[in-house]
Amino acid sequence: MIPAIYLCCIGAVLEYKNVHSIIPPCKFFCSILNCNSSHLDLAMSILEKLRPKFWNHVPRDIPKSKDQFNFRRIWNLAVLLTAGVALLPLTIMTVIHYQVTQNAIESEIHNHTYRLVRNTWGTVSYFLGERRTVLDLIAQDTTFEELNDPSHLSAILKNLKRRLGGLVDLGVVNSSGRQTSYAGPYKLTNVDYSDQKWFKEVMESGVYTSDLFLGLRNIPHIVIAGKYGLTGGSFYVLRATLDIDTVNNALYRLELSGFGDAFIINKEGILQTPSRYHGEVLNKISLSVPVYSSKAQVLDDKDPKGEPLIVGYAYISDTPFILMIVQKKGELLKPWYKIRMELIWFLVISITVILLVTLGVVTYLVNRIYVADQERAMSLHHMEYSNRLASIGRLAAGVAHEINNPLAIINEKAGLIKDMFTYKEMYSEDKKLIGLVDSIISSVNRCGTITKRLLGFARHMDVSIQPVNLGEVIHEVLGFLEKEAEYRSITVSVDVPDDIPQFESDRGKLQQIFLNLVNNAFAAMEEGGRLDIKVRRKDEDSIWATVSDTGCGIPKADFERIFCPFFSTKTKKGGTGLGLSITCGLVQEIGGDIDVHSEVGKGTSFVITLPLKRKKEGK
């Protein structure tokens, strides 16, 4: 389940990034892990919740300027740089540490094997050398005649067995290759060795050490022999058969880790001592025979199955023997593998933590920048809006004032005509003339009402707190839209009960609030719509004002965003997305609250709660 969601998250992230081409592999993983589309949906919904506000930010529809932030780009850059700066040194240090540790451990394994080979080589060499020295001593201390005395020879052998051990028999061979005297378990007196290879070799080089052989008792033995001179230029050969159990035991007792194996082979690769893993005694080993070296060596090799091995070896001088210690590299490196796994886990956890922290911090900071930028843009627009409104107000006031003067003249002139008709009897009976003059005066009065209203409206923009009659404000605002309502057959009803008292508030802001809401309602309605403005007492301290229309309504999905700055469904028709945002801001500034109820196709109601007693200015 967890990996399924994890993989789905990866898939969702990719989809999130619009990399649709990589989605099929994720779905493939999902199918392997038996996760269905609900997991994908779950992952998507998790990501949807985690998605920061700025992610879907669309740059404002204004000419590109330095002030415009591309938040996704900032986020990407910040994540890449921060994560890069943190992860690069970590990764480099981990790789270096990995290499150094691995090299140190491998070097330690080689050194250990080398020391082991050296020590064991010493033991084996000592065993053989000691027995060879014994032969030399016997030859030196004992005359040829004494050696040819079987009882004397037997006594020597008995002594040696007791004191030294490892000897099976002793024999004296004369210069013609015949064994003249023999002490041991077999009857080998008078055996002719003249044709034997070992005899020829001992004749040539003076000493001889045989390969391992089983002998008559079927027990592995080696033979050592030495050539000793006699007075008169003749010579004899003293030979001894060695029981190599001592060597075997010494090799067997070696403490070797990693399926280690210590044994001796001859130069043809035939095993001279038992091996644990590389064959039977007197069989050829499965490994290649290492090249000659006068010193102990350690090298990397592979067994026939391809498994890496550490092979330590040393040629034993004056013998055909090669001491070998073979260990499985994989087994020796097990502790290292454990450390390596810990290292990898450390790296993975570190990277995960760094990435999570980076993502979290960068997202938080970019979000803060985004919010600050939105607020900055909002207040700039708010200022621009207020300035524009104030300019329009001043313009309107100027126009109204300028028009008022000629209007006053028309008024007075028409009035004078009327006076003349009224006060002079010759005209007073002419009803038609009086009617015409009345009509002029009534039109002038209408114009006067408009200019007075304009002047009043413009003036209130600059004035702050004063006693306000909400009904008056609403009627004043509607006064500007009466004609439009008439042309579009929109029924407008205002219901302000008498129990709504005057209250202290900012008249200009109230005018703007209602003007914006009524304008929005008009924009949402087709011909023949209905606009209801109701004011109700909520409680002692506050009232409700509801502006309802029978317009197109607002989809539920947009509810949360309609009060956000720059959210508009009318951008192509010149909407700035600021109307409701500014309205909301104005309502809050006068200590009120605004809420919306809407149903698509049926209409929208904006409910404003206004305090009757003023709190501290603004929120």
Partner 1 sequence: MRILLVDDERELVSTLAERLSFRGIDADWVISGEDALKKAETETYDLAVLDVKMPRISGIKLKGMLEAKYPDMKFIFMTGHGSEDDFRAGSANAYYLVKPIGIEALVSKINEALALDT
How far, in Å, CA of 362 to CA of 369, rounded? 10
**Helix residue ranges per DSSP H, 283-333:** 329-332
Q: With contacts defined by CB under 8 A, name the span among 74-82, 107-115, 394-402, 515-523 that binds partner 1.
A: 394-402
| 524: CB partners within 8 A, 6+ apart | 549, 551, 552, 553, 603, 604
Q: With contacts defined by CB under 8 A, name the span among 45-53, 81-89, 385-393, 451-459 that binds partner 1.
A: 451-459
**CB 397 within 8 Å of CB 455:** yes
**CB 248 within 8 Å of CB 274:** yes
- Position 192 contacts partner 1 (CB under 8 A): no
Nearer to partner 1, 299 or 410 (CB): 410
Cα dihedral 212, 218, 219, 221 in deg (nearest 10): -30
How far, in Å, CA of 411 to CA of 415, rounded? 6
Nearer to partner 1, 210 or 451 (CB): 451
- Tokens representing 346 are 């450390």
**CB 490 within 8 Å of CB 529:** yes
Find the shortest distance in angstroms from Cβ 476 to partner 1.
12
Find the shortest distance in angstroms from Cβ 451 to partner 1.
8
**Residue 55 carries which DSSP code?**
G
In the chain, the amino acid numbered 363 is T
- Position 448 contacts partner 1 (CB under 8 A): yes
Q: How far is CA 191 from CA 24, 162, 536, in A?
A: 87, 27, 138
- Tokens representing 294 are 């006068």
- How long is the chain? 619
How far, in Å, CA of 435 to CA of 422, rounded? 12
Q: Which of residues 543-562 bind partner 1 (CB under 8 A)?
A: none
| 608: β partners | 545, 594
Q: With contacts defined by CB under 8 A, name the span among 34-42, 104-112, 121-129, 454-462 that binds partner 1.
A: 454-462
Nearer to partner 1, 368 or 413 (CB): 413
Applying CB under 8 A, which of residues 276, 459, 570, 615 lies at the interface with partner 1? 459
Nearer to partner 1, 407 or 562 (CB): 407
**CB 243 within 8 Å of CB 167:** yes
> Which pairing describes strands 321-328 and 308-315: parallel, antiparallel, or unpaired?
antiparallel
Convert residues 397-436 into a mask of x (bound to partner 1 by CB under 8 A) and - (unbound): x--xxxxxx-xxxxxxx-xx--xx-xx-------------
Nearer to partner 1, 104 or 409 (CB): 409
Residue 176: how many CB atoms within 10 A of its CB? 11
Nearer to partner 1, 397 or 554 (CB): 397
Nearer to partner 1, 438 or 486 (CB): 438
Find the shortest distance in angstroms from Cβ 467 to partner 1.
11
531: exposed, middle or buried (C-beta count within 10 Å: 0-12, 13-18, 19+)?
buried
Residue 504: how many CB atoms within 10 A of its CB? 14
Number of residues that bind partner 1 (CB under 8 A): 30
Applying CB under 8 A, which of residues 234, 249, 439, 445 lies at the interface with partner 1? 445
Among the listed residues 82, 81, 73, the one whose alpha carbon sits nearest the alpha carbon of residue 357: 82
Nearer to partner 1, 100 or 463 (CB): 463
| 270: CB partners within 8 A, 6+ apart | 211, 212, 282, 283, 284, 285
Find the shortest distance in angstroms from Cβ 543 to partner 1.
23
- Position 465 contacts partner 1 (CB under 8 A): no
Find the shortest distance in angstroms from Cβ 81 to partner 1.
59
How far, in Å, CA of 358 to CA of 366, rounded? 12
H or E stretch covering 336: helix 334-423
Q: With contacts defined by CB under 8 A, name the span among 74-82, 86-94, 393-401, 491-499 that binds partner 1.
A: 393-401
Q: Which of residues 133-152 bind partner 1 (CB under 8 A)?
A: none
Nearer to partner 1, 248 or 404 (CB): 404
Nearer to partner 1, 35 or 454 (CB): 454
Find the shortest distance in angstroms from Cβ 403 to partner 1.
8
Applying CB under 8 A, which of residues 122, 456, 471, 575 lies at the interface with partner 1? 456
Nearer to partner 1, 334 or 401 (CB): 401
Convert residues 341-380 into a mask of x (bound to partner 1 by CB under 8 A) and - (unbound): ----------------------------------------
Find the shortest distance in angstroms from Cβ 402 to partner 1.
8
Nearer to partner 1, 215 or 415 (CB): 415
Among the listed residues 533, 507, 550, the one whose alpha carbon sits nearest the alpha carbon of residue 607: 533
The contact set with partner 1 (CB under 8 A) reads 397, 400-405, 407-413, 415-416, 419-420, 422-423, 444-445, 447-448, 451-452, 455-456, 459, 463
